[in-house]
DNA sequence: CTCCTCTGTTCTGTTTACAGAACGATTATG
DNA sequence: CATAATCGTTCTGTAAACAGAACAGAGGAG
């Protein structure tokens, strides 16, 4: 028996709690709900959530599960901060967070003189405006689940699960979640520029 | 302590703790190490692990992390019960070759009770028939470049760059390239089955 | 301006997860 | 058969996660 163990209370990483807490806060604000509302939904104490989001707590499994359920995300998503999911070892996986959207790059290649990028994009309730990108950007979005409005301001489309829409994104456009959470796949296509030309050699 | 209060320490699901505990016990025995050895490795109490594996505890994030580290699995893997999320260990780049098509899996996750898979699919000139898959498979295809005909035999669609089509793939369908080479993104969605839910290599 | 409602924070007491020791149950070793 | 390992379980005191109330700041309505 290695009796010389100091109790030490290693507390593993203070930043683990902090990172999980930050992720929870991000998800909550993306859903546009207040801390009090989340407390009601999860049947957790308000103060508990406050300290938890600030990384000053070491939450239990039950607590994490209650939060994940209320935020409609799988339990693992609360823990996937940085370290875990880069095990995939791909340069992909870059996350883009934004007003009411959360996108992950899952594929990227070049096609003739164009760059093609595929995102798994989650759209939360609310509207996200997007300025024009590079000249000649074409976006195709397919709704996996949920319901969204999307497209250029003049001619938007209303999409439900299984429907798609393609539009020119080199003008002002928007993504608007019409339910709590919608899952989509976004294909973005734009002309290869000198900078993007040399990237990511096949 | 028969707390007659309705608050009752909701404890969400007793089976959640039990399921996570069981998973830990499985992993530990798979590693061929004893409970005492794991206690040393994790710097956790022996009794703590015992009760935890039997589902009589509600472990904290720190505890889970310590165990995951000692067992060399990502943290999320301890929580993968039925509502598994990101399917890892399934490296991207799995290729599917077939008559006149060539598909690469670039994304896969679960959405509610469905599995979503995203493929970068290249369609060459010619026709490829596909038998019905599992019940309830929905496919959405977006053409990035080229020109194809696709869908169920009764009601096919003719697509050019930027267009999409969604159809039920649990019946006979086909992909037909109308030019030398067409680039597409295919989103496939099907109900989660016990096998796809989470497999435990016994 | 005052009042009101909302935000998120910090405070108290209770419940409980935890470490570590004591326990019993099983299998080796002579 | 003894007895000595180690296995996993159950016990006991302490630190902390939790619920809920009291608190403080920021807008909004009148």
The CATH fold assigned to A15-199 is: Jelly Rolls (2.60.120)
Average pLDDT on A95-102 reads 66
**D22 C1': nearest CA residue:** A47
User: Quick one: which residue's CA is nearest to D18's C1'?
Assistant: A48
Q: Do A142 and B187 touch (CB under 8 A)?
A: yes
Please give the Cα distance from A46 to B161 (Å, whole number): 51
Of B58, B83, B165, the CB nearest to A74: B83
Nucleotide with minimal C1' distance from the CA of B60 is: C17
How remote is the C-alpha of B123 from its chain's centroid?
26
Shortest-distance nucleotide from A47 CA to C1' = C9
For residue B15, the surrounding DSSP H or E stretch is helix B14-31
Query: Cα angle at B41 between B36 and B43, to 5 degrees?
Result: 90
Q: What is the pTM of this model?
A: 0.51
The CA distance from A156 to A153, in Å, is 6
d(CA B157, CA B166): 9
pLDDT of residue B82: 34
Please identify which residue in the block is written with the tokens 């994104």.
Answer: A169
Beta bridge partners of B130: B173
| Closest partner CB to B58 (pick from A43, A62, A109) | A62
CB-defined contacts A:B, below 8 A: 148
Using CB atoms within 10 Å of the CB of residue A43, give its burial: 0 to 12 exposed, 13 to 18 middle, 19+ buried: exposed
Bases of chain C below 7 A from a protein C-beta are 6-12, 15-22
* More confident of the two residues A173 and B30: A173
| A160 contact B CB<8A | no
Query: Helix/strand/coil (H, E, C) string of chain A?
Result: CCCCCCCCCCCCCHHHHHHHHHHHHHHHHHHCCCHHHHHHHHCCCHHHHHHHHCCCCCCEHHHHHHHHHHCCCCHHHHCCCCCHHHHHCCCCCCEEEECCEEEEEEEEEEECCEEEEEEEEEEEEEEEEECCCCCCCEEEEEEEECEEEEEECCCEEEEECCCEEEEECCCCEEEEEEEEEEEEEEEEEEECCHHHHCCCCC
Q: Higher pLDDT residue, A131 or A25? A: A25
d(CA A170, CA A122): 21
- Measuring from the CA of residue B7 to each C1' atom, give the nucleotide at the shortest distance: D19
Residue pointed to by tokens 């505990």: B21
The verdict on a CB contact (< 8 Å) between A183 and B138 is no
pLDDT by residue (tens digit) across A62-90? 999 999 888 878 787 787 643 323 223 33
> Which is higher by pLDDT, A47 or A199?
A47
C-alpha–C-alpha distance, residues B121 and B145, integer Å: 11
Report CB contact under 8 Å: A61, B65: no
Residues 83-112 of A with CB under 7 A from strand D: none
Q: What is the pLDDT along chain B (202 residues), one digit of tens a residue?
A: 333 333 333 344 446 888 889 889 888 887 788 899 999 988 999 999 999 999 899 999 999 999 988 887 878 778 764 333 333 333 445 556 556 677 888 888 887 778 888 999 988 887 877 766 666 788 999 999 989 999 988 888 999 999 999 998 878 888 888 888 889 999 998 876 544 444 322 2
Task: Sort out which chain A residues have CB atoms less than 8 A from B110's CB and list them.
Answer: 74
Which residues of chain B neighbour A2 with C-beta distances below 8 Å?
40
φ and ψ at A109, to 5 degrees? Answer: -155, 175
Cβ pair B60:A62 closer than 8 A:
no
């Amino acid at each position: 028996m290695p009796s010389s163990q100091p109790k030490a209370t290693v507390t593993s990483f203070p930043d683990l709690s902090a990172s999980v807490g930050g992720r929870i806060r991000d998800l909550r604000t993306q859903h546009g709900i207040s801390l009090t509302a989340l407390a009601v939904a999860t049947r957790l104490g308000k103060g508990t959530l406050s300290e938890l989001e600030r990384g000053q707590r070491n939450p239990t499994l039950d607590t994490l599960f209650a939060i994940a359920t209320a935020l409609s995300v799988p339990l693992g998503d609360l823990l996937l901060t940085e370290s875990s999911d880069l095990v995939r070892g791909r340069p992909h996986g870059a996350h883009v967070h934004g007003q009411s959207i959360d996108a992950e790059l899952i594929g990227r290649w070049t096609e003739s003189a164009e760059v093609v990028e595929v995102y798994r994009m989650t759209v939360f309730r609310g509207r996200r405006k997007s300025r024009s990108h590079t000249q000649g950007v074409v976006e195709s979005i397919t709704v996996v689940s949920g319901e969204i409005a999307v497209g250029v301001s003049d001619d938007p489309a209303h999409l439900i699960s299984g429907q798609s829409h393609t539009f020119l994104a080199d003008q002002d456009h928007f993504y608007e979640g019409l339910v709590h959470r919608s899952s989509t796949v976004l294909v973005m296509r734009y002309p290869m520029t000198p900078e993007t030309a040399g990237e990511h050699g096949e």
